[in-house]
Structure 1
Amino acid sequence: MKEFIEIKGARINNLKNINIRIPQNKLTVITGVSGSGKSSLAFDTLFEEGKRRYLLFSGAQFMVDSKQHFENMDSSILNQIDDYIKRKRYRLVNSILILKNGRIVFEKYYNRFNENSRNNIKSIWKSILSIVTGICLDKGLIKSIDEPIREYLPEFARNLHPYHKLITIRHLLTMSSGIYWNGGIHYHCPMMSQMMRTNDWTAHIADIAMDSVPGTKFEYKEWDVMLLSALIGKACRGTAYDIAKEYLYAPLNIKSDEWPKSPCGFSYTVMKGEENSDLSARDLAKIGLLFLSNGSIDGKTIISSDFVRRATTPSFINVSIGSSTGNYSYGYLWWLFPGKYVCRGGGGQEVNVIPDKNFISVVQATVTSSSKSYDDINENILRTAIK
């Protein structure tokens, strides 16, 4: 999010159609003759900015513009979204939320959902786990993402395979541990089923053969996020959920039940009890806004801007997932596309952030065995709506 307050067409006392940008976190002096409107401009700006921040991040609600001021978006195209979803018969879509310049410009719910309804986030949890990792780094719980995971997970220190000892936290964040995986994008696969029959998932993963040298090959898999969550638990002497609850969800006033745990105690949401991690569309928008504002809310840093930058910088380019290939890259558990970065979860869950346009869109849907992605909503309608 741009670090200034933008005022357009202000009309106060003798000021007519004033357009200015006031930098944030800096001293700004407004001068003028008596009665010019300078004091009204200053105080009204402070009031509106304070209200905006309170509504955005206190958890009350986002700034909803009752006058349908579409913030440099084509309102005629926005009005087509509902018709498009009905025409395509996207009956599983539960919510569409669009923010421009911090304002909700479109919010629509289906299937009896509303702004308080929580939806399965699926693998969006991975991007949230990335944020939790960054918080651990900021607080010194983790020294560096280039630390070997064996420093936290002794199963990898005593393993005889030399490649296991080379795996670092960075490799887990970028899905490049090199541990063998043949489950594709699916977590309901024989490899996962075999692991879930054991009592120590970390030890089970440590016994799996290596497929490649760590850091040389991207392979979307569950092993890496499981190990990352286990490592965070060891680092904080608790669970990844404990960090998320106190340092991410609480400041953003996001409500979530405790994430389910593996038999050996680390947080993992893609299993029985995964509904505990469900979030509302507005909760997901807050995650997008946090990254759009470079990790800080109301002058308080939740996660360092450096980690936000690195998380949304490609670590691997032209990656593939399952049978799908495309013009996308991968950062620290975030999907990267030209001009935007994305949290994605199975069944059509998406948070799209386009920094240059101060734009965020959220799509939520019911997950079924025939669920699909709803990329066309973003590409065919939302992108064309941005001026």
Structure 2
Amino acid sequence: MKNVLSEYIDNYIKQKHYRLINSILLFRDGEPVLKKYYNNFNENSRNNIKSIWKSILSICTGICLDKGYIKNLDEPVSNYLSEFAANNHPYHKLITIRHLLTMSSGIYWNGGIHYHCPMLEQLWRSDNCLEHLADTAMANVPGTKFVYKEWDVILLSGVISRAANMNTYEFCKSYLYEPLGITRGEWARLPGGIDYSIDRNFDIEAQSDLSAGDLAKIGFLLLNKGNGILSESYINQAVLPSTNTPEYGYLFWLFEGGFACRGYGGQEINVVPGKNIVYVIQATPTSRSKSYGDVFKVCLDLMDNGNML
């Protein structure tokens, strides 16, 4: 019975002392199997999504491609970002949109410790984020090495904005959020006008906040092959392993049987197409936050046991 699953998850979370978990939603065949809220959260409560924003940006890139705002994923970013056509570095014109989607631009990155990143702080203090990134050293030939970093998604946001001739958030709002019935989640704006998911104070409560139900809508969009908002062909490409890492696609994390949107501190949308499952978890991120992938695994194990449902 559903109540058995609910009680089991409650007990599991208590035993693990997972006090920061706020919301858990689990759907199978389009029907809710589990809805749990903690810490005074409810279906209307919003939680910062952190790097789930990266996967949302991938969806926006696919919509750009579908609508012809960009021609193909192997276009050089310099076609849209004049800052990377200025011959600052011979590798700049080799960077493609696909490299940004697969975190392989080759631009140097040092992420810092516990989400305190001096390189991001320097970017916020710059006069223009794209000019700043165009002056940042190259560490690798584009396309040769996966490095999880903020630079590539910031550049991707710039490409979407320049290609569609509107702010990236406005593009997302018009072509993704509004069709899905999502009404919040406005993003910060970097110096130079490029939209980004983190404000300059790195405030964990600010900017890209969505409810667990909003994240489930994004999960169902992906499970249901785009629902006319995004092409099935793009989704199929986006969840294939990239050249430089088998665990990453186009800003989606991959696992056996499915794929995920993940954000720092325990934000996840997990999609398991073969089992017709969408799973969402949200937690309050802190400087030493953790992930809660074990909760998802427990849910799957219990669902595979018919006596638990």
Does the alignment reach a TM-score above 0.5?
yes
- Equivalent-residue separation in structure 1 for 2:166 and 2:114 (angstroms): 28
- Equivalent-residue separation in structure 1 for 2:55 and 2:295 (angstroms): 21
Superposition map of 1:284-323 within 5 A: 284-296=215-227, 301-316=228-243, 319=245
Q: How many matched pairs?
A: 301
Secondary structure, aligned partner of 1:227: helix
One-letter code aligned to 2:214: D
> What residue number does 1:275 align with?
206
Q: Paired residue for 2:9, among 81, 88, 93?
A: 81
Q: Paired residue for 1:384, among 281, 301, 307?
A: 301
For 1:316-375, what per-residue CA distance to the aligned partner results, in whole angstroms no more than 9, with x for missing partners?
46x4xxxxxxxx611000000111101100011111111100011111001111211011
Shift of 1:188: 2.5
For 1:287-320, what per-residue CA distance to the aligned partner results, in whole angstroms no more than 9, with x for missing partners?
1100100101xxxx10000000011111146x4x
Q: Paired residue for 2:94, among 155, 166, 169?
A: 166
Q: Paired residue for 1:336, among 248, 254, 263?
A: 254
Secondary structure, aligned partner of 2:57: helix
Q: Which runs of 5+ in 1 are unaligned?
A: 1-67, 320-327
TM superposition score normalised by structure 1: 0.75
- Equivalent-residue separation in structure 2 for 1:136 and 1:366 (angstroms): 32
> What residue number does 1:354 align with?
272
> What residue number does 1:15 align with?
none
Is the contact between residue 220 and residue 278 of structure 2 (CA under 8 Å) also seen in structure 1? yes
1:220 equivalent to 2:148? Answer yes
Q: Which runs of 5+ in 2 are unaligned?
A: 305-309
Across the aligned residues of Structure 1 and Structure 2, the Cα RMSD in angstroms comes to: 1.6
One-letter code aligned to 2:142: P
Which has the larger helix fraction?
A: 2
- Equivalent-residue separation in structure 2 for 1:246 and 1:139 (angstroms): 13
> What residue number does 1:191 align with?
119
Q: Paired residue for 1:370, among 267, 281, 288?
A: 288
Change (3 A) 1:223 1:186: farther
Secondary structure, aligned partner of 2:36: strand
Q: Which has the higher contact order (CA 8 A, sep 6+)?
A: 2
- Equivalent-residue separation in structure 1 for 2:175 and 2:122 (angstroms): 34
Secondary structure, aligned partner of 1:310: helix
- Equivalent-residue separation in structure 2 for 1:265 and 1:334 (angstroms): 26
Is the contact between residue 188 and residue 199 of structure 2 (CA under 8 Å) also seen in structure 1? yes
Q: Paired residue for 2:37, among 96, 106, 109?
A: 109
Decide which structure has the larger Cα Rg and report it: 1
Secondary structure, aligned partner of 1:336: strand
> What residue number does 1:153 align with?
81
